[in-house]
Amino acid sequence: MVRLELKRAAGFLPEDWLSGRLDALKDAAEKLRTGSGAGGAFTGWVTLPEDALNGEELPRVKAAAKRIQEQSKVLVVIGIGGSYLGARAVYELLGKGEGGVELLFAGNSLSTDDLMGVIRAIGGRDFSVNVISKSGTTTEPAVAFRVFKELLEKRYGKAGARERIYATTDGERGALCAAAEQEGYERFLVPDAVGGRYSVLTAVGLLPLAAAGVDVDGLLSGALAERNVLAVGGEDNAAWRYAAARSALYEQGKNIEVLASYEPSFRMFTEWWKQLFGESEGKEGKGIFPAGVSYTADLHSMGQYIQEGRRALFETVVWFERSRETLAVPSQPGNADGLEFLAGKSLSFVQEQAMEGTALAHADGGVPNLRLTVEAVSAQQTGALLYFFEYACGLSGYLLGVNPFDQPGVEAYKKNMFALLGKPGYEQRREELLGKL
């Protein structure tokens, strides 16, 4: 269960920060429950934990994951945005499990060097590919799939390549759906009612994670436990309180939220969170800008700005109570570094005091500090945290008065890119753009 602490934010919140929003929160929660709000057709993620645990696709995911482990040492996950961020976030936080394959990620940029780096990382090892795209026509993953399909066919032949390609896509339409049916790739579903940034607990995330040896049952059961807790509304609901605090701070001009963690392996989780909130809230000239830092490293870089820069930000710290391993600071004769007072103390204790000291300093410097506490880095607790943020994001979008489940602005750059690349049908736009270059 995710716990919210607002001790270092209380002095920045108005007296009615929660009471004045309870009716709006109740309405938002009902919209999520019933799918009756803006974008309600995309609220299938609300019941996803139990739907996935009880559905027919999870056994297929596990069976395919086992085959991937038997046939390969590496799985190349091809996707962009919600098609890869969730899986990568969980993979980098939890690490590869026993018997799992290594995950490499491609199709999330147009960088030649990055793509070649993935190819070099595969080397001579056996590999499979999981291509993830609702349409199959998104430029970055479609180009990467062309490259890796060719590599597979050169190494294993066309028949062998087909056995190593797993397509996660739309169930009825789209280029990738058609290709999977024509070529005979094993196919998994991107549900119509679940948008990409909410899709980590579907086959989009579960297949690569299961292949990597991650405990996907634990991930789903943790999300389900969190869902059951958050289904009970009211003043004690952590997601309600988090959404209300964000809303109140936003109304006071705090329009930048910095997500911080003291675990370096949390970096990609922050990237997933940035897409979740940025794409859900950033529209109609509204929204809190999501940023991220990794402490304590970024205290030696971004720490100066956070402490004394423009006071337009607030900080949310994700804190894991227990480390998976233990390490004590050793004693050193002579005390040349002046740190002998730490000798014998656990490194986790030192880290906790750094966290507490930072929270105090930032609050004193005018930065409200919210804390989300999770028991440990585990599959169950990671699933709980994923669901907590998804649910709080849905609430926050409705409090803000926007549709949390669309992303109309994403298409703007694509139209210009297609025109400049000479895609058929974009000739007039191309002429207009060339005149501006």
Q: Are 371 and 4 spatial neighbours (Cβ–Cβ below 8 Å)?
A: yes
96: annotated active-site residue:
no
Burial of residue 62 (CB within 10 Å: 0-12, 13-18, 19+) is middle
The active-site residue, picked from 414, 415, 431, 432, is 414
The active-site residue, picked from 257, 279, 281, 390, is 279
300: annotated active-site residue:
yes
Burial of residue 199 (CB within 10 Å: 0-12, 13-18, 19+) is buried
Distance of alpha carbon 364 from alpha carbon 8, whole angstroms: 9
Ramachandran quadrant class, 335 (left: phi over 0; alpha: psi -120 to 50; beta: rest) = left
390: annotated active-site residue:
no
The active-site residue, picked from 15, 300, 325, 436, is 300
Q: Dig out the tokens for 34 from the structure.
A: 């019933």
Distance of alpha carbon 59 from alpha carbon 281, whole angstroms: 35
> Which residues, 6+ apart, have CB-to-CB distance to 253 below 8 Å?
312
Question: What's the full length of the chain, in residues?
Answer: 437
Distance of alpha carbon 374 from alpha carbon 282, whole angstroms: 27
The values of phi and psi at residue 74, to 5°, are -135, 140
Q: Is the peptide bond prior to 43 cis by the omega test (within 30 degrees of 0)?
A: no
Which are the catalytic amino acids? 279, 300, 414
